[in-house]
């Protein structure tokens, strides 16, 4: 579940749709870290290793980093 919600394994992350609906799905904090800890002065370099935290094993499903990167780059 951690790869389908924001903060799924954190005590203050996603708990349930009813109590934390704003943390459903993959949001900015999955890659950028918690908003309270994100350094806005340093751009995040998205690496394949970051993506492979979720896109691996049975969840890889043909994941292609080069094709996916333009979809999340900003």
Q: 51 and 32 in one domain?
A: no
Give phi and psi for 29, each to the nearest 5.
-70, -20
Q: How confident is the model at residue 64 (pLDDT cuts 50, 70, 90)?
A: very high
DSSP sequence for 27-48:
-HHHHH--TTT--TTS-----H
Cα 22 off chain centre by: 14
What integer pLDDT is reported at residue 66 of this predicted model?
94
Q: 55 and 28 in one domain?
A: no
Q: 33 and 58 in one domain?
A: no
Whether the pLDDT of residue 14 is over 70: the answer is yes
What integer pLDDT is reported at residue 40 of this predicted model?
62
- 48: containing domain: 43-74
Mean local confidence (pLDDT), 36-47:
67
Q: 52 and 27 in one domain?
A: no
Q: How confident is the model at residue 67 (pLDDT cuts 50, 70, 90)?
A: very high
């Amino acid at each position: 579940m951690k790869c389908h919600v924001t903060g799924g394994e954190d005590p203050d992350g996603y708990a349930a749709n009813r109590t934390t609906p704003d943390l459903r799905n993959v949001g900015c904090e999955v890659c950028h870290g918690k908003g309270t800890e994100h350094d806005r002065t340093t751009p995040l370099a998205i690496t394949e290793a970051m993506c492979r935290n979720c896109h691996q094993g049975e969840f890889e499903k043909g994941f292609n980093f080069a094709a996916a990167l333009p979809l999340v780059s900003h």
